[in-house]
């Protein structure tokens, strides 16, 4: 009976297009043939499909994050903060989706994963170049990681270019300077290829913004958007670490990292240190 009802509702929709001989379909627009034929298991184990899909979906979300971060950086550089706020808010929402995905992967048990883990060889999520691009975009620049990507010259050159570009935090600090805050010359002439280090003049500027919210509302909003993104990224890292611990314990990662031990260490890193320090000093 349900099927008949559904059919009746469908036939009542007289405007629905059914002839696509000369029109683009939904599947063609999204290139679904290519997308849905990219889940190629290297084992016969049922749960390898889960493992592949989770990581492919994460890469798609990261592609969108990079799209938004690049546009937000450009907007801030051109003193267009309001459009940047929308882009950064979207990044935070995407991050929430990525955090939730660890709960799905956590349904994979150690007994199941060990059945196909050897098929990964030395490949590892540690090698995700898009994740490195996100780290670079947020100011965590580490040139030595480029060695991992020399096999693919296109990716290597892309990362090398990103290494020398200003990060989201770099352009945010430049926005402070444009607003009249005294930022140290050393900080404004920073080598973009280096990992960001906390700066007293930057902290003083952000403190003034937080103490005079009405006078610096746009900068205050920008700061809170940055905190949102770092908070979500650290939540993602924590859930990643706990999921790995749950599935493989303290084994080494397939890519050669120390696994959980490495993932715990990166939890201590701050992308925007002054924005966290000022909370104690307000």
Q: Which fold has domain 45-280?
A: Methane Monooxygenase Hydroxylase; Chain G, domain 1 (1.20.58)
Take residue 174 and report the two structure tokens written for it. 């430049």
CA distance linking residue 199 with residue 52, whole number of Å: 42
Q: Residue 51, annotated ligand binder?
A: yes
Give tens-digit pLDDT for 25-50. Answer: 999 999 999 999 999 999 999 999 99
pLDDT at 257: 87
Q: Specify the residue for token string 């989201």.
A: 168
Take residue 175 and report the two structure tokens written for it. 């926005």
Q: Residue 169, annotated ligand binder?
A: no
**Closest by Cα among 219, 218, 231, 275 to 92:** 231
Q: Residue 269, annotated ligand binder?
A: no
pLDDT at 1: 47
For 125, the 3-state DSSP assignment is helix
Q: Residue 254, annotated ligand binder?
A: yes
Q: Output the CA torsion 156→161→165→167 (10° steps).
A: -20
Q: Residue 55, annotated ligand binder?
A: yes
- What number of CA atoms fall less than 13 Å from residue 89's CA on the CB side? 8
pLDDT grade, residue 8 (50/70/90)?
low
Q: What percent of the chain has pLDDT over 90?
A: 82
Q: Residue 113, annotated ligand binder?
A: yes
Q: Furthest-apart CA pair in the chain: how many Å? A: 75
For residues 14 and 57, the model is more confident at 57
pLDDT at 67: 98
Element (H, E) at 268: none
Q: Residue 136, annotated ligand binder?
A: no
Instruction: Work out the number of other CB atoms within 10 angstroms of the CB of residue 202.
Output: 25
């Amino acid at each position: 009976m349900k099927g008949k009802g559904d059919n009746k509702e469908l036939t009542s929709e007289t405007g629905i297009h059914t002839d696509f001989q000369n029109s683009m379909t939904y599947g063609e627009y999204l290139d679904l043939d290519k997308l849905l034929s990219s889940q190629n298991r290297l084992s016969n184990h049922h749960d390898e499909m889960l493992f592949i899909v989770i990581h492919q979906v994460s890469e798609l979300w990261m592609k969108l994050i990079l799209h938004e971060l690049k546009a937000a950086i450009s907007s801030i550089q051109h003193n267009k903060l309001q459009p940047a706020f929308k882009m950064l808010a979207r990044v935070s929402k995407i991050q929430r989706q990525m955090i939730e995905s660890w709960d799905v992967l956590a349904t994979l048990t150690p007994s199941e994963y060990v059945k196909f883990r050897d098929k990964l060889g030395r490949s590892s999520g540690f090698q995700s170049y898009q994740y490195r691009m996100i780290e670079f975009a947020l100011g965590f620049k580490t040139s030595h990681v480029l060695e991992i990507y020399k096999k693919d010259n296109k990716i290597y050159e892309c990362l090398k270019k990103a290494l020398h570009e200003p990060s989201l935090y770099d352009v945010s600090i430049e926005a402070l300077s444009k607003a009249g805050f005294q930022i140290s010359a050393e900080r404004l002439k920073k080598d973009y290829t280096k990992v960001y280090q906390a700066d007293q003049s930057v902290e003083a500027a952000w403190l003034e913004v937080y103490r005079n919210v009405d006078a610096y509302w746009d900068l205050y909003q920008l700061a809170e958007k940055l905190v949102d993104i770092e908070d979500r990224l650290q939540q993602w890292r924590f859930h990643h670490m706990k999921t790995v611990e749950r599935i493989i314990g303290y084994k080494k990662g397939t890519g050669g990292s120390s696994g959980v031990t490495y993932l715990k260490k990166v939890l201590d890193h701050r992308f925007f240190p002054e924005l966290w320090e000022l909370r104690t000093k307000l």
